[in-house]
Structure 1
Amino acid sequence: MRPGGTRICLVGATGLTGNALIAQAVGREDVHIVGIARRETKLPPGARMEMLVGEPIDWPLLIRAARADVLVCALGTTMRQAGDEAAFRAIDHDLVRFCAEAARAAGIEHMILISSVGADRASRHFYLSVKGETEQALGKLGFRRLDILRPSLLRGHRWHRRPGEAIAQMLAPMLGVLVLHGKYRAYRSISPAKVAHAILALAREKERGRFVHEYDAMQRAIRRIGD
């Protein structure tokens, strides 16, 4: 670890998971976050970080300027927000890959991606097939270590709430305990704060390779550093 802690370049800093990661890093001396975004975001008191703002075309320069050890990509949208399949793919595949390629060009060798449970290039579900294709593309870029987090429903406030999501978020914890067991545990809901804990734990890992983390694996990563 370099002096001042692990430097994390966070793209998607203004989203649900990005905000949670910023909040979880407050008060920690072992991590320094450099956020990349199109707009400013309100930072929590005590946040030890920088925010670099620019249009996506400029992000490779900002990613290089971050001088990071790890790229964390929390970019993502929904079909409802994107409007159509082409717009969704432009963010969840093209922009994610663009940032990953910029990170490799800047010498960053560790990437952590927020993907989705069920991601599979062969899926008949467009959302999941794009997520799977993105994972596959990043695996070919030569990162020394690639961590792929696959959360299910993220419990938390969204500015653009999806239809029925409020009800789903209320029921999710109970359904997870009562119904989602065995191979279905991967579909248990999780809070953005927990995902952020897992990111901070994984950012310290040095083992080489590609690692996929679903619900249980994220919980194990959290336990390695404690809640």
Structure 2
Amino acid sequence: MRALVIGATGATGKEVVKQLLEDERFTEIIAFVRRPHFAEQHKLKEHIVQFDALEASSDHIKGDVAFSCLGTTLKDAGSKEAQWHVDHDYQLHFAQLCQAGGVRHFILLSAVGANPHSNFFYNKMKGVLEMEVKALRFEQLSIIQPGLILRPDSDRIGEIIAGKVLGFFNRLGLFKQFAGTSTKKLARILVQESKDKRLGVRVLPVKEYQKS
């Protein structure tokens, strides 16, 4: 199988690439990156792209399954408009090119609470993206909705505090839908989802996936 990955240099994306390399089902992994990042691996090919001109790479956007793990924070992006451009526009364009290129299974890393009608910017952004990717009518579409993503060695103070606070409430049985998931475990969920052969759309909060 041939896998395509965007967001491959992010905390979750790197784990996805690592686990794909270890998976015998995959014979080729194409990582679309802004600059070289990974050590040389015989199954891995890095394709350098400009995400504002992704259509220039359309000949390379062909495969069996695609993983869309791209994302940024409001702080890193600098504005809501810039975050929308990365988290929504780039991923939607990638999905459109995947659909045109015959990709059968598209796996989107979204977020719990995604809702196109939400009053919260982040939830609305994720919800609009989910809605528009669904409209592309992939043969298989898997949308994974984690709560807090726990990045190894994170230096984001807010993320560290949120993880500790949520952990405390989770131990009391509260806010389980927002429970933190490590990037390693989240990547495992994404890669395992590529094994599912059911057609149509699957929208899965991480807590629901872990039950199945």
User: How high is the TM-score relative to the length of structure 1?
Assistant: 0.84
Q: Give, in angstroms, the shift of residue 92 of structure 1.
A: 1.3
For residue 218 of structure 1, what is the aligned residue in structure 2?
A: 209
Once residues 59 and 177 of structure 2 are traced to their aligned partners in structure 1, the CA distance between those partners, rounded to angstroms, is 35
Q: Secondary structure at the residue paired with 1:210?
A: strand
The one-letter code matched in structure 2 to 1:218 is Y
2:140 touches 2:199 (CA, 8 Å); kept in 1? yes
C-alpha displacement at 1:165, in angstroms?
1.7
RMSD: 2.2
Q: Provide the residue aligned with 2:160 in structure 1.
A: 166
Q: Could you tell me whether the CA contact under 8 Å between 2:61 and 2:98 is conserved in 1?
A: no
Q: TM-score, normalised by structure 2?
A: 0.89
Q: Classify the secondary structure of the residue corresponding to 1:76.
A: coil
Within-5 A mapping of 1:3-152:
6-31=1-26, 32-43=28-39, 48-62=43-57, 64-152=59-147
Per-residue CA deviations over 1:36-65 (Å, capped at 9, x if unaligned) read 11122234x867322111211443353532
In structure 2, distance between residues paired with 1:61 and 1:142: 23
The question of 1:191 aligning with 2:182 is answered yes
C-alpha separation in 1, matches of 2:152 and 2:159 = 10
- Length, aligned pairs only: 211
8 Å contact from structure 1 (residues 64, 103) kept in 2:
no
Report the Cα offset of residue 26 of structure 1. 3.6
Evaluate the alpha carbon distance shift between residue 40 and residue 175 of structure 1 in structure 2; reply closer, same or farther with a 3 A threshold: farther
Q: Which runs of 4+ in 1 moved over 6 A?
A: none
SS in 2 for 1:148: strand
Which digits, 9 at most, give the CA deviation of each residue in 1:134-154, with x for residues without a partner? 100001012111111111111
| SS across alignment from 1:25 | helix
Shift of 1:187: 1.0
**Distance (whole Å) between structure 2 residues aligned to residue 132 and residue 211 of structure 1:** 14
What residue ranges of structure 1 are gaps of 5+ in the alignment? Answer: 1-5, 222-227
Matched to 1:132, the amino acid is G
What amino acid maps onto 1:87 in structure 2?
A: A
Flag the 1:170–1:211 CA change in 2: closer, same or farther, 3 A.
same
Code of the residue aligned with 1:201 in structure 2: it is Q
Q: Output the amino acid matched with 1:67.
A: K
Say which is worse superposed, 52-61 or 6-15, in terms of deviation: 52-61
Shift of 1:158: 6.7
Partner of 2:150: helix, strand, or coil? coil
Q: Distance in 2 between matches of 1:63 and 1:148?
A: 23
In structure 2, list runs of 5 or more residues that go unmatched: none
Distance 1:151 1:18 in 2: 14
